[in-house]
């Protein structure tokens, strides 16, 4: 099927989102909660665009809007720009400690106002970390609470049994909100301490015991074969998880 994005006729398949098509065509739409690995969540709304279908125009989230024949999309109208600016402004006010938000706040030309800033906060609740952890097969973290108090955490904020210390969550986090403390052979993440295993070849600490066991269990590959750091391994063992896992 065909649709028009910013005046350009684009080919699309049923089931595509507007964002998918735009990315394929090299048309930029900003996003915060989107990642290729998980698809659209529709939560940050930064990807808002204007769609005209059947003579009616409306503002939609391009990462979740399924394309249909003949729709016309505008990715940057004054209304869209204003929404994006306000979203960035509000997220910056929430997470003023995040370097990414500070940068976007400047880029989007947000104007000063009377709302307070939270220097100590970095998380923008995009949920990418939760999705990454889910994809690891661990689901150690999730969003907790609701409404304006919604945040990410482990069950009861205790060290989670399910957490394997892989730090996939921290790697995917766009704002650096998740603390991973590696010192010598210990790693601390989400209030839990892990021993780091040294690479059999180069001797550098590179992964947690729990992480190697977990990967071994899922992939059926023996522990012994997993005890090399990425550099040394050179073989792609767990292709599916490579994007997230440093092992």
Partner 1 sequence: MTTMNKSLIHLLLVCCGTGCVANGAREVYQALKDNLTSDDKAVLAATTSARATGCHGLCAQGPFVRILPEDITYCRVKAADIPEIVEKTLKQGEVVKRLLFRDRQKKTLVQGQNDIPFYQRQTRVALRNVGLIDPSSLQDYLERGGYRTLEKSLLDMRPEQVIEEIIKSGLRGRGGGGFPTGLKWKACAATPAQPRYIICNGDEGDPGAFMDESIMEGDPHSVLEGMIIAAYAVGASNGFIYVRDEYAQSVASLRKAIEEAENHGFLGENILGSALSFNIEIVRGGGAFVCGEETALIASIEGNVGEPRDKYVFPSEKGLWGQPTIINNVETWANIPVIMERGASWFTSLGTEGSKGTKVFSLVGKVANTGLVEVPMGTTLREIIFDIGGGVPKGRSFKAVQTGGPSGGCIPSELLDLKVDFDSLSQAGSMMGSGGLIVMDDRTCMVEVVRYYLSFLAGESCGKCVPCREGIKCLLEILTRICHGQGEIGDIALLEDIAETMQQASLCALGRTASNPVLSTLRYFREEYLEHIEGQRCPAGICRELSEFWIDPVICTGCGLCLPRCPVEGIKGEKKQAHWIESDKCIRCGECIDSCSFQAIKVK
Considering only residues 83 to 142 of the shown chain, the ones binding partner 1 according to CB under 8 A are 83, 86-87, 90-91, 93-94, 113-116, 124-125
Considering only residues 37 to 66 of the shown chain, the ones binding ligand FES according to CB under 6 A are 40-47, 61, 63
Identify whether the C-beta of residue 102 lies closer than 8 Å to the C-beta of residue 113: no
The entry of ligand FES, partner 1, ligand SF4, none that residue 13 binds, CB within 5 to 8 Å by partner kind: none
Q: Of the two residues 153 and 221, which places its CB atom closer to ligand SF4 in the complex?
A: 153
Considering only residues 113 to 172 of the shown chain, the ones binding ligand SF4 according to CB under 6 A are 123-129, 132-133, 136, 138, 140-141, 152, 163-169, 172
Q: Of the two residues 84 and 192, which places its CB atom closer to partner 1 in the complex?
A: 84
Q: Of the two residues 12 and 174, which places its CB atom closer to ligand SF4 in the complex?
A: 174
Residue 190 Cβ vs partner 1, minimum distance, rounded to whole Å: 20
Residue 136 Cβ vs ligand SF4, minimum distance, rounded to whole Å: 5
Give the 3-state DSSP-derived string for the chain, with helices as H, strands as E and coil as C.
CEEEECCEEEECCCCCEHHHHHHHCCCCCCCCCCECCCECCCCCCCCEEEEEECCEEEEEECCCCECCCCCEEECCCHHHHHHHHHHHHHHHHHCCCCHHHHHHHHHCCCCCCCCCCCCCCCCCCCCHHHHHHHHCCCCCCEEECCHHHCEEECHHHCCCCCCCCCCHHHHHCCCCCCCEEEECCEEEECCEEEEEEECCCCCCEEEEHHHHHHHHHHHCCCHHHHCCCHHHHCCCCCHHHCCCCCC
Q: Of the two residues 71 and 101, which places its CB atom closer to ligand SF4 in the complex?
A: 101
**Interacting residues with ligand FES (CB under 6 A):** 31-34, 40-47, 61, 63
Residues of this chain that bind partner 1 (CB under 8 A): 42-46, 48, 59-61, 64-66, 79, 82-83, 86-87, 90-91, 93-94, 113-116, 124-125, 143, 145-150
């Amino acid at each position: 099927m065909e649709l028009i994005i910013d005046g350009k006729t684009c080919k699309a398949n049923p089931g595509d989102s507007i964002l998918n098509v735009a990315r394929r065509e090299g048309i930029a739409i900003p996003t915060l909660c989107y990642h290729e690995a998980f698809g659209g969540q529709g939560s940050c709304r930064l990807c808002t665009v204007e769609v005209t279908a059947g003579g009616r125009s409306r503002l939609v989230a391009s990462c979740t809007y399924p394309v249909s024949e003949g729709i016309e999309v505008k990715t940057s109208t004054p209304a869209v720009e204003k929404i994006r600016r306000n979203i960035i402004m509000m997220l910056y006010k929430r997470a003023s400690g995040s370097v990414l938000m500070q940068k976007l706040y400047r880029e989007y030309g947000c104007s000063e106002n009377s709302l307070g800033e939270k220097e100590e906060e970095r998380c923008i609740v995009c949920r990418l970390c939760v999705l990454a952890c889910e994809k690891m097969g661990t689901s150690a973290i999730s969003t907790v609470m609701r409404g304006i108090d919604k945040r990410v955490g482990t069950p009861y904020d205790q060290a989670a049994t399910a957490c394997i210390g892989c730090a996939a969550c921290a790697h995917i986090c766009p704002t650096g909100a998740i603390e991973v403390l590696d010192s010598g052979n210990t790693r601390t993440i989400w209030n839990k301490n892990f021993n780091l295993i040294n690479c059999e070849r180069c001797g550098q600490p590179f992964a947690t015991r729990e992480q190697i066991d977990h990967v071994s269990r899922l992939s059926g590959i023996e522990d012994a074969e997993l005890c090399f750091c990425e550099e040394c391994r050179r073989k792609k063992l767990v292709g599916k998880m490579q994007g997230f896992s440093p092992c």
